Amino acid sequence: MTAAAAGAGINRYGFLASAIAGRRVTVQWATRSGALAYSDGQSIFLPSTDLATASHPWAAITAQAALIGAGSLHASMLRQLVGRPNLARRYLYLEMLRATRLLADRLPWAFTERLELQAPARTAAVQGSLDLALSSESLPEPPDYFGRIVPLLGMRTAFSEQGWAALSRQQQRGQMKTTAVPDLEDGDEGESSQILRLFQNPFATGNPLSDLLNSILGAGVSKRRSEASAGDGGGAELPVGRVEHALKRGVHAVLSKLPLDLPGPDEVAANPSFSYPEWDVHANAYRRDWVLVEETEAWREDGPQAVGQLLKTAPVELRRQLSGLGVDQELHRRQSDGSDLDLGALIECAIELRAGHSPPALTVYRTSRRTRRDLAITIIVDISGSTAEELRGGESTFTKQLTVAYQLGQVLDSLGDTVAMFGFHSWGRKRVRVVRIKGHAERWSLRVAERMALLEPVGYTRIGAAIRHGTHLLNDTMRLPNRLLVLITDGIAYDQDYELRYAAADAGRALAEARNAGAACVCLCVGSASDTGKLAEVFGAANILAVDEIGQVTGRIREVCRHALKAVSKRRFAPPRGASGDRG
Amino acid sequence: MKTDYIASGAEKLVFKAAWDNQLPVLLKGPTGCGKTRLVQTMADELGRPLFTVACHEDLTAGDLVGRFLLRGGETVWEDGPLTRAVRQGGICYLDEIVEARADTTVVIHPLADHRRELNIERLGESLTAPPEFMLVLSYNPGYQSVLKDLKPSTRQRMVAIELDYPSAEIEERILMQEARVERELATRLVRLGQAIRGLKEEGLAEGASTRTLISTARLIKSGVAPAVAAHVAMAAPLTDDPATAQKLREMARVYMGDR
């Protein structure tokens, strides 16, 4: 039984939480003290200290997820609970009863059957619960598995969801590094209001960031203005430097805990690695098992980047262009079944029969059929450090490449093709990292964008290894008759002991191997036309598409892909070369 | 076996009215929500023979209308299911119609509008459908890729009945009737089903259908432990990804387990 291994990640309850909450919710171990579960609206945090909860965490998870699903953790409500733990507990009790009724159809039976939840719902909406909680009516104490409400946490999530878009580009880019902050414990009235004060900056009226924080955190704008105009507000007396410092601290507090799905130790250990040969042009021979490629999950230290702007839905025109790839109406003769009789075959068959032979099979029909669209595509994105350079117009090659990869992947996937997508970079031959963006068996989902947000342009480019790994995926894992490898890069290979003639020769070899194995290869260069001459030599001028703007891809991508696929289909039956990767 | 379709809305009434008025019907809805069952039940109630064709990419007009076959040294004509339905005044049900090639669906056009004719080119024959004949198409809007959609000209000839997974209460009744399980087990299964259907952003194949709920209930009746049955029949078919399967397994345990 795999229970022990599975027990490693508490996020195995992620679907339970998401299904009840009605949105993507993760489950994590709590970082703050206390024996009760709590949530910030995006994640549910479980106390690892409480053994009873730790061994059977599902009830606590269900309870917190139900609060999210019922809208109990809305910022406008939480704002009124800050620093009032008793009120928060009464509100929690009432909301849990309401949520249980509201979501009854999707809650576990074993949860709704619990004794404490048999009481009828007292209120019909969040406001009602808050009003009743504020009243003097006596209410039962909520049981432990209800968990608790940490108002400031939920409000922080409201900021990260609504606030990010409201910040300007510069502000988003600003050096908002994560730093440790004083713990935002809700039990302490004094400290909470102190934290709230951190966000108020009387010197920056009209600053969208502080206005935003103020409006979200509910420190009324009018109050701040009156303080500022009266000139006797606590903050107004502070030296500018200190106030700004305090504001920054507040911002860091908000940003430092944005949810981040880190790979657990078990996942890291399970990273598969592959070894591939490399072509040594000087020795005119392969170097066996020369390169070590490791498949990893996307991760960057400073957390997910804001890529929402980049990952726009592809234009309809791109869809139209790509929809025709690899589809053709063809007349098939001598079929065992079909809409018409194939006269030639029928006459032959009749002759055979009259002559006393019996034909082996009655293949006398003809039919016209669209040749099936069984296209497997691997999109490989160069995420080496060089792509991070900004181009004219402020965008980097990296972001342009991600945009193109996202659009291509999305369109091809929606057209029914099998799409795998990964990024690659390297630090010498023993450390080639292939970062999964989309697995071939995975359906298109938010995960793709989430992983893209965690890509980091660092390292170098060992192009041959990436091509060989892509070929390996296409041939050994995806196994469809039509295979297309799309390499998105900013230039020819460069890595430790991997330059110029050696690199070009190896890349050329890798491409030849891919084509011999039946995979068509296409190279896309977006934004940087610097090194494309060399790439064109390696790929063949017709198989490379170099453009400055993403929009230009649309009109030309189809021709390039079709050309590459056609070239391969002619040699489909050539025997494959035994140079694809071995599993390490 | 008598087939009792439990209606969620007015679908049976609409179906009957469409049949009375010789209008073709388009059934829309996700996999396993009861499209086929509705047609079977209605054919039963209306006392008409049912001709079902599961459409696929290679389905040709010949497969529907008929073709010449070889028999000994002779060629003989054999009617396809559509032609047989027209001749016998039955109900012809084309399941997953968008899977069929566009040129195939053209033959149904003259049958679907006021002409109600079937032209058999190869025989030089034209059949007029009797009043009892009915054409029913089904299609699953979420399932196909964008390329494969019904042409507007086909759609507009139809009376569309939209089905979805039934409400919790009705789904419970369906489970109790189809798998003969107790109310509590039915409730547990339905809640798990509803919960899985809520996981829209996780890259799962389609949500757990009513059909899979019934299969699960039957497995449990045959002695499979509830959590195991829910996993193998409802959750596991939705994904091949181990991490996703693990999370679904955990859901099955919580919803079906005894704790």
What pLDDT, on a 0 to 100 scale, did the predictor assign at position A4? 37
What pLDDT, on a 0 to 100 scale, did the predictor assign at position A570? 59
What pLDDT, on a 0 to 100 scale, did the predictor assign at position A261? 38
Subunit contact A416:B145, Cβ cutoff 8 A = yes
Report the alpha-carbon distance of residue A483 to residue A475 in Å, rounded: 8
Subunit contact A350:B73, Cβ cutoff 8 A = yes
> Same domain for A242 and A291?
no
Smallest CA–CA separation between A413 and chain B, in Å?
Answer: 9
> What interhelical angle do A208-217 and A240-255 show, nearest 10?
60
A467 found inside a domain: yes
Report the alpha-carbon distance of residue A191 to residue A183 in Å, rounded: 9
ipTM over 0.95: no
Give every CB contact of residue A490 below 8 A, 6+ residues apart in sequence: A382, A384, A386, A387, A397, A401, A525, A527, A528, A530, A531
Mean pLDDT by 10 residues, chain A (584 residues): 46 88 84 81 79 71 92 86 89 92 89 86 87 89 88 73 45 39 43 45 46 48 39 36 40 39 41 85 87 86 77 81 71 78 82 79 76 79 85 79 90 87 90 89 85 88 91 82 87 78 88 86 76 73 79 82 77 43 38
Final residue of a structural domain among A118, A149, A180: A149
Using one digit for the tens of pLDDT, what is the confidence trace for B151-174?
777 778 889 999 989 999 999 999
Q: Which of A14, A441, A445 has the CB atom closest to B247's CB atom? A: A14
CB-CB neighbors (< 8 A) of B184 in chain A: 109
Final residue of a structural domain among A214, A229, A255: A255
Sign of CA dihedral A550, A554, A555, A559: positive
Which uninterrupted H or E stretch holds A279? strand A273-280
A116 found inside a domain: yes
What pLDDT, on a 0 to 100 scale, did the predictor assign at position A429? 87
pLDDT class of B212 with cuts at 50, 70, 90: very high
At CB < 8 A and 24+ separation, what contacts does B182-186 make? B184/A109, B185/B217, B185/B220, B185/B226, B186/B217
> Same domain for A283 and A243?
no
Report the alpha-carbon distance of residue B201 to residue A450 in Å, rounded: 12
Question: Is residue B101 less than 8 Å (CB to CB) from chain A?
Answer: yes
Subunit contact B198:A22, Cβ cutoff 8 A = yes
> Same domain for A101 and A167?
no
Q: Which of B67, B194, B241 has the CB atom closest to A105's CB atom? A: B194
- Residue written as tokens 């992620």? A14
> Same domain for A166 and A87?
no
Of A344-353, B116-125, B215-224, the range with the lowest mean pLDDT is A344-353
Q: How many structural domains is chain A composed of?
A: 4
What pLDDT, on a 0 to 100 scale, did the predictor assign at position B145? 42
Question: A308 or B31, which is more confident?
Answer: B31
Report the alpha-carbon distance of residue B18 to residue B5 in Å, rounded: 18
Buried b (16+ CB within 10 A) or exposed e, A324-333: ebbeeeeeee
A581 found inside a domain: no
Question: Is residue B229 less than 8 Å (CB to CB) from chain A?
Answer: no
Label residue A253 exposed, middle or buried (CB < 10 Å: 0-12, 13-18, 19+): buried
> Same domain for A69 and A204?
no
What pLDDT, on a 0 to 100 scale, did the predictor assign at position B91? 96
What domain range is A92 assigned to?
3-149
> Same domain for A535 and A453?
yes
Subunit contact A446:B101, Cβ cutoff 8 A = no
Which residues make beta-bridge pairs with A275?
A292, A582
Could you tell me the residue ranges of all domains in chain B?
11-162, 168-256
A577 found inside a domain: no
Q: Which of B70, B145, B202 has the CB atom closest to A415's CB atom? A: B145
Which residue of A lies nearest to B73 if distances are taken between CA atoms? A350
A578 found inside a domain: no
A263 found inside a domain: no
Question: A25 or B132, which is more confident?
Answer: B132
Subunit contact B145:A338, Cβ cutoff 8 A = no
Residue closest to A122 by CA, chosen among A144, A136, A105, A139 = A139
Residue of A53, A64, A100, A109 to mutate for B, most B C-beta atoms under 10 A: A109
- Mean pLDDT, residues B40-47 taken together: 94
What pLDDT, on a 0 to 100 scale, did the predictor assign at position A329? 62
> Same domain for A338 and A425?
no
CB-CB neighbors (< 8 A) of B71 in chain A: none
B198 and A106 in contact (C-beta within 8 Å)? yes
DSSP secondary structure string for all residues of A136-177: S---PPPPGGG----HHHHHHHHIIIIIHHHS-HHHHHS---
What pLDDT, on a 0 to 100 scale, did the predictor assign at position A566? 77
The B residues from 172 to 201 touching A (CB cutoff 8 Å) are: 184, 187-188, 190-192, 194-196, 198-199, 201
Subunit contact B202:A15, Cβ cutoff 8 A = yes
A405 found inside a domain: yes
Length of chain A as a residue count:
584
Subunit contact B62:A110, Cβ cutoff 8 A = no
Q: Which of B67, B195, B204 has the CB atom closest to A339's CB atom? A: B67
Give every CB contact of residue A152 below 8 A, 6+ residues apart in sequence: A78, A82, A184, A186, A192, A195
Report the alpha-carbon distance of residue B96 to residue A374 in Å, rounded: 20
Smallest CA–CA separation between B131 and chain A, in Å?
Answer: 29
Smallest CA–CA separation between A63 and chain B, in Å?
Answer: 13
A482 and A326 in contact (C-beta within 8 Å)? yes
CATH number at residue A460: 3.40.50.410
Domain B11-162, what fold? Rossmann fold (3.40.50)
pLDDT class of B2 with cuts at 50, 70, 90: low
| DSSP character at residue A498 | B
What pLDDT, on a 0 to 100 scale, did the predictor assign at position A575? 41
pTM metric for this prediction = 0.57
Buried b (16+ CB within 10 A) or exposed e, B98-116: bbbbeebbebbebbbeeeb
> Same domain for A129 and A171?
no
- Residue written as tokens 């390169």? A291
> Same domain for A408 and A314?
yes
A262 found inside a domain: no
Subunit contact A415:B68, Cβ cutoff 8 A = no
Final residue of a structural domain among A149, A181, A206: A149
The B residues from 199 to 218 touching A (CB cutoff 8 Å) are: 199, 201-205
